[in-house]
Structure formats: structure tokens, C-alpha cells
Structure 1
Amino acid sequence: MKLNTFSRALLLFLLVSQAVKGDEEFVVEDIQVKGLQRISVGTVYNYLPVNVGERFSLDNVAPAIKALFKTGFFKDISLEREGSTLIVNVVERPSIAKIIFEGNKDLSKDDLTKALKKIGLAEGKVFDQQVLDKVEQELSRQYFSHGKYGLKIKTDVSNLTRNRVGIHIKISEGRVAKIKQINIVGNNVFDDKTLLRNLELNTSNLLSFYTKDDQYSKQKLSADLETLRSYYLDRGYVNFNIESTQVAITPDKKDIYVTINVKEGDVYTLDKVKLAGNLVVDPPELIKLVKVGPEEIFSRKNATETSKAISDRLGDDGYAFANVNMVPEINEAKKTVDMTFFVDPGKRVYVRRINMKGNSKTRDEVLRREMRQMESSWASSSKIERSKTRLERLGYFEEVTVETPPVAGAADQIDVNYSVVEKPSGNLSAGVGFSQVQGIVLNANIAQDNVFGSGKRVNLAFNNSSYLTSYQFGFLNPYFTVDGVSQGYNVGYTKRNAGQINIANYSTNVANAGINFGIPLNEFDSLRFDIDVKHTSLSATSYSSNQICDFIYGNNGTDICANNSNGNVAGGANTRKKVKATGDSFLTLAPSVGWTHDTLNRAIFPNKGQQQRFSALATVPGSDLEYYKLTYKHQLYFPLAKDFTFRLQGEAAYGNGYGKTTALPFFENFFGGGTGSIRGFKNNTVGPRDSNGYAFGGSSKIIGNAELFFPVPFLPETKSVRLGTFMDAGSISDGFKTNNLKYSVGVSGEWMSPFGALSVSAALPLNAKSTTTAADGTITGDQKEMFQFNFGQNF
């Protein structure tokens, strides 16, 4: 028979009465504690309600024993007296040396350990049988939330040396109970199919292995009931009510039946809509925010959005704690609702101080220059939130949070506290990547996006592959002026062998240097001005095409293409030419201007907002080559369900020559096909071909993309990895043409790994022409490539 703490204390009280006799009282000159193993003597002294020098009698026994039992450290306690010494005899409870789980599959050891820790059962803790008895209840709660109702748990306790125990928990999870049927009773206006497709819970289907929508949980049902209620209230059913819900499980605990009883009621329309209360903002301005009107069907959603819009508007004028309550007056006879939005702005508050916390490396001024909310000015909720977004977009922080606590003793003041978690802003890397186009890629990169905490950026990079050898140095000061004008420099050398990436046979050596300035126009728009000087050396090979020969001849005035065996010269028939091992070089000075509109919510894997970029580049008259290029790119992101994002993307580009240059230089052509373009077609192969049948690019480009991103099944990480399904379309041509658009569909995957960015896709071209290779090596048709990937490059 188990004794509770009180019973033990009473029994020990009777026993101690034999040791501390009758009403004999004595002064405690010493206290000795016997039986301790892990607990320190000081701990006992702290809890014992008697000290040396105090009087002790029978009346003090029960409180002393009760105080020590209350600690939970001991399973037996007794008190004795030897002369003037009080002796405390204790038997410690054993400590938990280890907890072993067996049979757990759905829940990890870490999940189970955390659950048991909440009830006080963990390695190193004092063992308590009463706590162990709660294990089944706690683990059942964890497994029930995962739909495991056939759970069986058995616990074994084994004694170990040094007053320790080991706990062995055997788990038989059983199978997941599936929702067999969901019944809605009482619905006449909307059928079951219409209502059920709005609920998260569902009967088993093809996607249930991923969505787990056929696994019942009380939390999911509560959310679904609110969804059902909102569905009716947003369609005018003011008196809609959920009468009851029943959840039944079969005896074998494998199937669940859910029944929801509803009362729909009648449809109500709005009669009068008005504003009341303290309208501190001009009423006409607030009326524009009202999303409901007379004779419209009542919608709780629209009414709630109206309340929020008015509250946000007041927040921009310093009324940070404004409340806007919607008060409906229902006329049962007319089936109408009079809606009043009662405005309580509260006190107008201003910001006393803006505090930064967590930026141990980054200077305060770097954060403060991103602030749109100023100190000693009226608080603005939109400016406070915008400041937070700007800090997130710096790229220096893993996390940014903001709090607006009121100032103690000042009803009209708040502080704005930004807390940041810094991440490494420097990068020193060297490694090997692989691209399906370029093959093995060697790279080394030294980058610091936040030099000495100043926010300035420095980059030194080297890349080498069969296609590309590149050395680049760049510097950017994002706040060259206090107004946010940026200034940057760049210098580099690049050698490209176009034949290695499915393009015509030629190579270029380019040395470049430039300076750029960025000018912010507002929160979301900016201009960029660049001036680049570039020296390009062009080399033809022994198998360069007629087009390359023609370009060199046309721009140099020298025929470097010798007759081939058939007597053809440059510009002749589409046959291979024997070209001398020579080339030409061109010096150009090219100013450019760009415009960017960016409302994306984050830099990596955004799910909301848009980005537009337009740039115009032209070499100045007198350059060895006179040409211009125009490009425009637009991205739109739409958040759908949780972790689901839809992206629309379009790109258009055009270039041409002017003055003494008759056309866009062929090595400045636009190309399409492959990752980042039209997937499913071999990289850079879409569009015009040269006389040898190799991709030659064109003076115009049109690319369109629609893609749905979603998380990887069974993988909780969503910030650095995702899957997608897409449709690509595009065209490369000389002059804009839409009659040769290429289409493809497929699936994709992206992972921002610690070693570099990985992009993979499996695509099916929808209208590819068959590829043929003539006896002379000339290629016609489209070159397809179903599986494509890049690793070690940004995407």
C-alpha cells in the first residue's frame, strides 16, 4: 500500500516522538545530516526550517519533515536527538541515469524526450514513481495528435549502481487512424462537396500520404469548424450556428467518423453602414477604406478587413493602440444588418527612443540609416514595419524582430526595440562545382558584405572551367552619400570559349573596368548608372562559320577568311570555312542606365511581392563597335496555402547596331534554352544557327515562366530547399517573332546548400523539332535535354 506524503509525515511524526521525547525542548547546538549521496548538506540546511541556536521541540518535527519531503529529493526521512545535536536521517530518491525508447517510429527520440521533460521525467532528474505514472498519458497525447489511437506503452524500471535507475519505455505505435467519413447534417443551401473542400480534414485520397489530411486531430477539427463558420458568415448567413459535433472511432481504432450538425439560417443584407466614435482622421479618407456598402450581402471577412484598414490608417498617424470595433444591428423582420464601425483611436503616441540589440559586429549607424521611423516623431505602424523589412533585406541578419513597449509613466510614448541575430557576412571559399554545361568548375571567392561592420562590400572572385576563366574584383559603398546614393567599382578579366557551351566556334578575351552609381527614388524604386570600358579580343577557329567571318570582314575591312576547298569565300554558301588563326579586337565605352522596382519580402525564396528591372546600354559613338541593348525582366510572387508560392516571370531583350556597326555583334547575342530559360532544351541552343548548324543566338529574346513552388514532402526545412512544377515558353530570334515560341513543362528542385546553390529540373519539350545531323556536320532541329542541373552557381 502506497503512502502519500502527508501519511508518511504523520507516521514519521509518531516515530520521532519517541526520539524527541514528550515536550522536552532543547537548544540545537549542531545539525548533522546522514545518508546523503548526491544532494549537498547545504541544500538540506536551506530547506530545513530550524537553525543552530534555535529551540527545538516536538512541535517542530512535523513542519521540518514536511519541508524536506516537499523538495522531492527524499523517499524517507527521520529525526533523532543526541544531546544537543539534531540528526537528520535521509534516504535519497534515485536519479534517472538513462531513458531508453523502443519502438518509436513516427516520433523521434528528441520529440519524446522533450515531451517527458515537460512532466519532470528526464535524465539527471530525481526519479518519482508518480511522475512515471504520467508517462502513458503524456505520450498518448503526443501520439493522438498524430492520429495514432492504437498506442500501447509499457515501462520498466531497473536499479543501477550508485542509487540510480534506468527507464525502458516500450512503444507499440499501431497504425494511423484514418478518417473514414465526414458528414455535415443540416446544410440545405450548400452541398457537402462544396463545404468539405474548404476543410483541412478529409477522407483518404491520393495526396494524403503527403498532406496527412486524413489524420484526425482536435486542433484540425477546431480550425475546420471556424473555417465552416466563416464560409457561411462571409455569404450573409448571420445566424449560422454549429449545433454539435461528434467524433466516433471504431473498436479496432482504425477508422474515424466525424459528424457536424449545422443550422444555416437566412441570408442578410446590409442596410446602413456608418462610422462612429472619435474620427481623428478626415471621415472622407476613412470612408474610402470601407469595403462594405448598403444592399450588399453581409460579409464578416469584408467587415474585418475594413476594421483593420481603418486601424492601420490610424496607426500611421501615431495612434498605435487604436481599436476599431464593428457593431452589427440585426433586423430579424427585414433580414438586414446595420453596420457601425466604432473608432476608438486611443492616445496618440510618439517614439521616445529606437534601440538596437544584437548587432555586436555591425555598427549602429548601418542599422539606423535603414530606419523609416524616426525618434521624437509620431509612431507609424507602416514605417516601423518597413524599417524591419529593410533590415531583413540587408542580408546581415538571420532574424529581425521588433517590439513597441509603452514607456513607463508616459501614456503618450513608446520605444521601438529592434533585435537582430547576426550571421557571418564574410565568405572565404574555394572549391569545385559541376555544371552540366561547363563541366567541372573551379572557383575561389573572397567576399565581405559588411566590411568592419560598415555595410560596405568587397568581392574578389576567380572561376575556371572549360568554357570560362574569370578574375573579378568589386567594391560597393551602399551609402556613398547620406541620402542612400551608392557607388561601386569593378575591374576584371574574362576569357570565354563559346564552343564549349553549345554555341558557335569562337572565343573572346575581355578586360573591363567600370564605375556605377545607384540613386534611390523612393522606398521601392531606384536608378542605376554605369560606365564600363571594355576591350574585347575575338578569336576565330579553323571551323568558324560564315557569319563570324562576315562580321570580322564587315567591321574590320579585312578578309581574314581564306577560300576553302570548294572556292567559297566569307559570305558564301553555308559550308565550313578554313579561317586563319587570327581575330580582331574592339575597344568600347558603354554607359548604361537601369531602373529597379522591388517589393519582394526577402532575398532568398521570396513568396510575396514583385521585382521589375529595366536596363539600357549603348556604346558611345566612336567606339570600335557601336550598338545598344535593352532588357526588361518582371517577377511576380503570390503566396497561396502555407509554404506554397506561385511565380510568374517574364523577360524581354533586344539589341542592334547603329552607325558604322550594321548589327548587334554576334558575341553580344541573346541565347535561350536550359536552366534559367526554357528548360528541356539543351543550354543555349534555342534560336538561330550559323552556317555550321551551331547555336548563334539572336538580337531579341522573349522568355516566360509560370511556376508553383511547394515544400519537399516529409522535410520540415522550407527556407533553403523547395520543389516546383513549371511551364516555360520562349523565343530567340533576329527581331521579335512569336511564331517560333518553344514550350516545355516539368518539375524542379532548388537547394541553397552550404557548398553552393543546386538547381535541378526534369522537363518535357512540347513542340521540339526533330534533331538531324547532316554528313558535313550541320545540325538542324531542336536539341532536347530532359534532365538538367547546376551546382556551385547562384540561381
Structure 2
Amino acid sequence: MNFQFIRRRTNASALTLLASALACLPAWAVEPFTVRDIRVEGLQRIEPGTVFASLPFRVGEQYTDDKGAAAIRALFALGLFKDVRLETQGEVLVVVVEERPSVAAVEFVGLKEFDKDVLFKALKEVGLAEGRPYDKALADKAEQELKRQYISRSLYGAEVVTTATPIDRNRVNLTFTITEGGPAKISHIEIVGNKVFSADTLRDQFNLDTGGWMSWYTKSDRYSRSKLNGDLEALRSFYLARGYLEFRIDSTQVAMTPDKQQMSITVNINEGERFLVSGVKLEGNYLDKDDEFKSLVKIKSGEAYNAETVAETIKIFTDYFGKFGFAFARVEAKPVIDRKNNRVQFLLFAEPSRRAYVRRILVAGNNRTRDEVIRREFRQLEAAWYDGDKISLSRDRVNRLGYFTDVNVDTQEIPGAPDQVDLLFSVTEKPTGSISLGAGFSSAEKVALSFGIQQENAFGSGNYLAIQVNTSKYNRNYVVSTTDPYFTQNGISRSVDLFHRTTRPYLGDLNAYSLVNSGLGLRFGVPVTETDRVFVGGNFEQTQIVAGTGLPVEYQNYANKFGSTSTALPLTLGWAHDGRDSALVPTKGSLQSFTADVSVAGDVRYARTNFKYQQYIPLNKKYTFAFNTDLGWGQGLSGQDYPLFKNFYVGGLGSVRGFEQSTLGPKSSSTSGIYLGGPKKVVFNAELMTPFPGAGNDKTLRLFAFTDVGRAFGQNESVSFAQLRASAGFGLSWISPMGPLRFSYAVPIRQQTDDRIQKLQFQIGTSF
């Protein structure tokens, strides 16, 4: 006998009603029996073992109605079947299933705002992906998720239509047709209740605005709830930093036009009274170091209450406790308010809690950079006592690598281990390389090819690699340079340089003279402190003067003394100090270096020194002042003149902007337009950096104003400040996917009549 006794579908309400009906109809019940065999029918893609594993009975066991109901519930719980029923054929139990179709492919039509991968990831999180089971409820859920993604970008009018197209083998192709529409833009921001500060001043604290000429880049006129919350916090911080201890935001209303294209924001505030600090008192356990902690207090009596100085004091206290291993120290600032006199006293209560040690150090966000490249910069070690100073130093060292735009450290408590913590270093990687390809054709040179690659973090190894090839007949270069910052485990670096350069002035004559410079260099860097490094090394260099049209008399004199081909073996000794907070976008600290080269063998003998000093001074969170000093000096040894090929050059980007590259210095007395440089140079730069208007406090896009002063001086010239050239201007700095870009426009403010001016200049590289 073939008897169907239970059937269940995916509709939850129908299942409930069916189960109740079955419970009330004993005629449908099956007498318990011993199962002799179990068959599964209706499977297409799913393995039979998946069904058997979900059944609460096996062959040889007794079957009951309760076990049958449990079997159906278990199979539906898998989410793989649209319909399930059990049938009996004598003592054989037949499980009949109807599989839900699977998703064969997902496509988007009309997509512009998002990259497909972003939406694929969002759909996967709600359970929809290629190869997974499909049903209408899941499609509806996917539609809502897509709309949520568009709302996060202020596209409130976006519409999504789902089309499911059945194909062979019980599969469907899903197509999401999207009509994105335009973004909802902020048309009005109103602040109500302000008395002390103007509405314009308060709106300046917001990143959201009603639009401007940079809105296409910043999207600041697009409403976002998270951005608005951030702006409200900025508004609160503005008041709390100016003494308004009891400032509050009463309400916020956001209204949208019927066409979902414009929004208005109204913020109702209560400023409260302005309070002055009457005193600060320490309470609690300060490890018998009360005087040391008192010296760290930033809250000043008699000044207006400032939430920033209170928060800064708490952080300093917490960090200072961390120096002694107390990772869980709790510091609380309790205000005692005197509303009658508008005064507030702060009680700083401290509880150091317990000492802790670091169990594990985790690294996240490094998709390209290897873990070891980051971990070798750590000074806080695993299984060692928690040390706040070493953790801060580790963060700064990772930041100074220059591979990341952001480095953060979070302390994570470990459940069940009160004396242990884990540290999570989260990094945000930036592009660290650049590549250039070029080709040119002229009647004189025919085809000239150029190729260049520079990678500060080659293959994520932390090694520096640069290759340059240029086949031009006027400037032919073959250069390979590499640096391994951890040539040894204790941090000794090794740099190797191999080069062959041919330079011919562009005089319209391929028979013009040329200079050929070849060499090999090896240099090691030895760390002496956490921020200081000493360099030692040596080079072998060969210089050849190939006679031809337009050869300057200075080069001819050099060839007469040393021959047309000369060699040198300079030894290098140097020192560098890097105390900046970031190699990419420094805002504080200094960078200093001193290098001395002394040629001890070969045809030419000389000494050459170079000193550089950069200082970054934060004026506030947005503005940074920086200045740079670059001094060079060279001298011939053993009665010889200083070699021309080691001259310093000044002018253009990297020195004095507004003048053509390498033109501020002595010129050849015999050949017009040939600048020789000099064995002495003086360069001073000053910059004021500010965020780009409309870009918030984005440090990767900044404006700067600058003043440059400098010049190179000849062998027989004295360094004269009267001969220095000067310029002033402004520029744009952008940390782009291609690397740091700097555009500058400079106007000479101190020049001579024969100086070559170049007001607009462009640079790929570092500051100054």
C-alpha cells in the first residue's frame, strides 16, 4: 500500500495549521513499525547523505509519527527544500523532497555608484550568493539590503527590481535592475537656540554642508546619519572646549522633499552657562607618585572649562599608568559644579587595578605587507609585561615605515584571564610604488624608450627597489637600486646601487659632448637608538668626458688634469635621526641627516658633506608649520680641485621653487646655457600646511604656502646671503594612488635679470 500521511511546505503558518490538523485526525496516524529500508526521491544536486544525516531514525529502528514530524522539521531546517513529505510502502520509508532552486548567477543592471564586488559582498552577508538555495523571501531581503546600501550614500530614490529566470538543472539567474536616481542633497542646515556664537561659526564645525565647489570630491552635501552624528559630536566638543559644561542638543529634525532629492536639517541646542575651573584635586591610588601625576595635569585653574584638556589629562594619566604595566588603570574626572558662581572643581580619581602582560599581538589590515615587516618594528613583545611607552614606540615605528596611511593599537581584554591582554595593530595600507612607461620618436633620435619602477615595499617584503631604463640618446640611464632594511636580524640595513648614465646636452647636435658616469655602491645602516642610525659604505665611480660640440672649458680643464676618464673611491659615513610621527604625512617631530663622502683612492680626491634638518610643528589639529635647512660643502684634497661631477645643484622642486631646475648657481664661461652647480649650497624652506577647503581634515589632500631661499656657490665664491635667491607661493599636496604628488606655483621675490623663471612646477615624491 502506498500511503501519504504527512506533507509540509515552506510557509510557516501553513505548516502550523497542518501540524495541528494532523494532530486532531487520528485516521492519518501510522502504526509504529520497524523500518526495513529508507529511500530518498527528488534529489538533483544535494547528496543523499545530507538527508540521511538529518533523519532521527535508521534502518532497523522503529518508526513513529513523532519521529516522522521531527524528520520533516529537521529537513526543512536545512533550508535546502521547498517541499518535503514522507511515504510508506510496506516497511519501506520513502522521503520525497523538492529542492529549492539554486542561484546560478547574479547580475546588476544600471549600476554606477558601487563597484560590483561591494554589492556581491553585501548580498552574501544576507545569504544570497552563487550556488546557494534561492527563494522569494531571500530575494526580497536582498532587495532591501541593496536599497540600504544606496541609502548609505544618500541615494534615497534608488529603486531595485529583481528578476529570477529559471534555467536547467533547477537553477535560476538573478538580475537586479537598479534605477539609482540622484543623491539627496542638503539644501538647508539651521541651528536654533544659539546666543553666544553665530550660526555660521557653528556650521563651520560640520563636515556636512549645503554644497560648494569641492562637493563633487568631498560629497559633503550628501546626507548621512553617521556623518550627522559626527557633526553633532563636533558641535558638542566646540562648546565643551569653551567652558559650556552643560551644553546639550535637545533635538534634531531631518526633513526630505517628496521627490527624495533635497533634505533640510534643524538642530535645537541649549548652550547653558560658561564655567571656569576653580581647582583640581587628585584622589585614589597613584602608586605613591602623586607629584609626578600632578605635573602631568593639563587642566588649568582660573581658565574656562575645556573638555579637551580634561580628556587629554585622563589619557596622559592612563598612559603613565601603562608605563608601569597597569593596562587596566581607570581614571575618572568627577566635576563638582558650583552653579551659583559658575565654577567647577575636578576630582581626578584613579584606580590602577592590576598589572598585566601581553599574551598575543595581532596585526590586521595588511593585505600586501607581510606580518614580519610590521612585527620587526615592535618594541612591545609577546609574553612580556604591558608597557605603554613601548607600545607607543611600536606604533610610531610602524607609522614611520611610510607604508600605511593609518596605524592604530587597541587593547583587548581576555575573558577568564584578568592579568592578560591582547594587542591589535590595525593598519591601512597605501600604494607604495610607481611605474612609468614611455616612448618617443624624433628625426634625430628615432625611437626612444623609457621605463621606471619604484617600490618602497617590494612584494610586501619591506625592501626598497628601483629600476630605471631610458634609451634616449640625450639622457641614457640604467639604474638599479635596492635597500634591505633588515639585512640582519638586529636591524642593520644594506643598500646596493648600480648605475650607468650618459648625459648629452640638447644642443640640436648629436655630435655634442657627453658625460658618462658609471658606478657601484654598497652602504650599511646601523641602528644606534630607536630613532638614530649610522651609515657606512663605499662607492666605486668612473667618469668619462666624451669630447664633442659645445664642450664647456671647465670640463676641458678637468680632462686635461685627470684625463678624459677618471675614477674615484669615496667612502661614506653618515647619521640620520627620524623623530617624525609619520613618514607619509608628518605633523610633528624632526628629521635630521648628516652625510660625509671622502674619496681615498682613484684619480680624484675630495671631501663632500651634506646636512639636512626638517622640523614639523603642529599649530593645532588642522595646521602644521614646517621648515627645512639643506647645507652642502665640498673641497678638493691632496692639492686637487673639487671635481665638477660632485657639485651641488639648486633651483626648482626640492630646493627653491619658482626657478628652473638646477639653474641657481655658477654657469659655464664658454658655453651658453650650461649650469655647472657648485661645491657649496645653502637652501632654506618654510611651509604652512592646511586642509584643502571643503575636504574637512583630510591629511591626504592639503594646501600649503611656502617661502624658499637658496643658491649654489662656486669653488672661488664666498657664501653670500646677498646672492641668495628667494621665492614665495602656494601649492597642493595629494597622497594619490600613484604616490605623493605636489603642485606648486611660485613667484620669485628675489632674483637677477638672467635667472630662469618657472612658476608652475610639479613633483612626485616627498616634502620640500
Report the TM-score range of the alignment, normalised by the length of the smaller protein: 0.7 to 0.9
Which residue in 2 is equivalent to 1:731? 710
Q: C-alpha distance in 1, partners of 2:117/2:372?
A: 42
Q: Distance in 2 between matches of 1:144 and 1:357?
A: 29
Question: For residues 732 and 456 of structure 2, what CA distance do their matches in structure 1 show?
Answer: 35
Alpha-carbon distance in structure 1 between the residues aligned to 2:226 and 2:552? 68
Map of 1:740 onto structure 2: 725
Call closer, same or farther: CA 1:168–1:446 in 2, change over 3 Å.
closer
- List aligned pairs for 1:340-739, cutoff 5 A: 340-351=347-358, 370-373=377-380, 377-387=384-394, 390=397, 411-413=418-420, 440=448, 465=472, 466-469=474-477, 494-497=500-503, 499=505, 507-510=514-517, 516=523, 518-530=525-537, 536-538=543-545, 541-548=548-555, 583=563, 590-600=570-580, 609-618=589-598, 624-634=604-614, 636=616, 648=626, 650-657=628-635, 664-678=642-656, 681-691=659-669, 692-694=671-673, 695-698=675-678, 699-702=680-683, 704=685, 706=687, 727=706, 729-734=708-713, 735-737=719-721, 739=724
Partner of 1:560: none
Report the secondary structure of 2:71's partner residue. helix
Instruction: Work out which of the residue numbers 175, 179, 190 in structure 2 matches 1:172.
Output: 179
Instruction: Report the CA distance shift for 1:71/1:660 in structure 2 as closer, same or farther (over 3 A).
Output: closer
Amino acid at match of 2:579: T
Deviation of 1:206 (Å)? 1.6
Write the mapping of 1:762-773 to structure 2, written as runs, cut at 5 A: 763=745
- What is the deviation of 1:310? 0.9
After alignment, is 53-62 or 407-416 more displaced?
407-416
* Counterpart contact for 2:513–2:549, Cα < 8 Å: no
Are 1:681 and 1:786, in contact at CA under 8 Å, matched by a contact in 2?
Answer: no
Identity %: 34
Bigger fraction of residues in strand:
2
Q: Against the structure 1 CA distance between its residues 707 and 185, is the aligned structure 2 distance closer, same or farther, given a 3 Å change threshold?
A: closer
Q: Secondary structure at the match of 2:344?
A: strand
User: Is 2:141 the partner of 1:134?
Assistant: yes
Q: In structure 2, how many angstroms separate the alpha carbons of the residues matched to 1:113 and 1:355?
A: 28
Aligned pair partner of 2:85 in 71, 78, 86? 78
Structure 2 equivalent of residue 576 of structure 1: none
Q: CA deviation at 1:225?
A: 1.4
- Inter-partner Cα distance in structure 2 for 1:530 and 1:405: 44
**Rounded Cα–Cα distance in structure 2 between residues aligned with 1:356 and 1:111:** 24
Judge which range, 523-532 or 241-250, deviates more.
Answer: 523-532
| Separation (CA, whole Å) in 1 of partners of 2:181 and 2:237 | 36
Cα offset, 1:596, TM superposition? 1.1
Cα deviation digits, residues 220-266 of structure 1 (max 9, x gap): 11111111111111111111111111111122222211111111110
Q: 1:30 Cα deviation (Å)?
A: 2.1
Q: Distance in 2 between matches of 1:423 and 1:788?
A: 21
- Please give the alpha-carbon distance, in whole angstroms, between the structure 2 residues aligned to 1:292 and 1:470: 60
Distance in structure 2 (CA, Å) of the matches to 1:727 and 1:195: 30
* Farther off after superposition, 700-709 or 294-303: 700-709
Secondary structure at the counterpart of residue 133 of structure 1? helix
Verify: 1:155 aligned to 2:136, yes or no: no
The counterpart of 1:227, out of the listed 224, 234, 238, is 234
Superposed CA offset, 1:422-461 (max 9, x none):
9999x9x99965799x99565799999999x9x9999999
Contact 1:289 1:306 in 2 (8 A): yes
Q: Does structure 1 retain, via aligned residues, the 8 Å contact 2:431–2:737?
A: no
Cα deviation, residue 315, structure 1: 0.8
| Change over 3 Å in CA distance of 1:109–1:645 after alignment to 2 | farther
Q: Which residue type is aligned with residue 740 of structure 1?
A: R
Give distance in 1, aligned partners of 2:336 and 2:150.
46
Q: 1:46 to 1:197 in 2, by over 3 A?
A: same
- Match for residue 248 of structure 1 among 246, 251, 255: 255
> In 2, distance between residues paired with 1:136 and 1:448?
43
The answer for the alignment partner of 2:33 in structure 1 is 26
Give 3-state SS (helix, strand or coil) of 1:134's partner: helix
Q: CA deviation at 1:615?
A: 2.4
SS for the counterpart of 1:499 is coil
What amino acid sits opposite 2:152 in the alignment? S
* Distance of aligned partners of 1:219 and 1:766 in 2 relative to their CA distance in 1, 3 Å threshold: same
Distance 1:44 1:543 in 2: 90
Structure 1 segment 259-338 matched on structure 2, within 5 A? 259-280=266-287, 282-338=289-345
Distance in structure 2 (CA, Å) of the matches to 1:446 and 1:519: 24
Q: How many residues align?
A: 740
CA distance in 1, matches of 2:376, 2:118: 43
Change (3 A) 1:153 1:549: closer
Matches within 5 A, 1:771-782: 780-782=754-756
C-alpha separation between the residues in 1 aligned to 2:200 and 2:362? 53
SS of 1:104's equivalent?
Answer: coil
Equivalent in the alignment of 2:3 = none
The answer to whether the 8 Å contact 1:16/1:80 transfers is no
Alignment-mate amino acid for residue 190 of structure 2 = N
- Counterpart CA distance in 2 for 1:348 and 1:159 is 63
Conserved? CA contact 1:396–1:450, under 8 Å: no
Aligned-partner Cα distance in 2 for 1:200–1:431: 37
Residue pair 2:407, 2:425 contacting (<8 A) in 1 also? yes
Q: CA deviation at 1:605?
A: 6.5
Q: Any conservation in 2 of the 1:688–1:732 contact (CA below 8 Å)? A: no
Instruction: Assess if the C-alpha contact under 8 Å between 1:13 and 1:61 holds in 2.
Output: no
Secondary structure in 2 matching 1:91 = strand
Distance in 1 between residues matched to 2:151 and 2:479, nearest whole Å:
59
Give 1:303 deviation, angstroms: 0.6
- Partners of 1:529 and 1:389 in 2: how far apart? 25
Whole-angstrom CA distance in 1 between matches of 2:210 and 2:409: 42
TM-score normalised per structure 1: 0.77
After the TM superposition, which of the residue ranges 34-43 and 628-637 deviates more from structure 2? 628-637
Amino acid across the alignment from 1:209: W
Could you tell me how far apart the structure 2 residues matched to 1:133 and 1:169 are? 11
Superposition deviation, residue 762 in structure 1: 7.1
What CA distance in whole angstroms lies between the structure 2 residues aligned with 1:424 and 1:172? 34
Distance 1:786 1:372, change over 3 A: closer
Distance in 2 separating the partners of 1:98 and 1:150? 26
Cα deviation, residue 552, structure 1: 6.5
Distance 1:363 1:245 in 2: 46
**Aligned-residue offset at 1:520:** 2.9
Change (3 A) 1:645 1:548: farther
Specify every segment of 5 or more residues in structure 2 that has no aligned partner in the other structure, as ranges.
1-8, 714-718
TM-score relative to the length of structure 2: 0.80
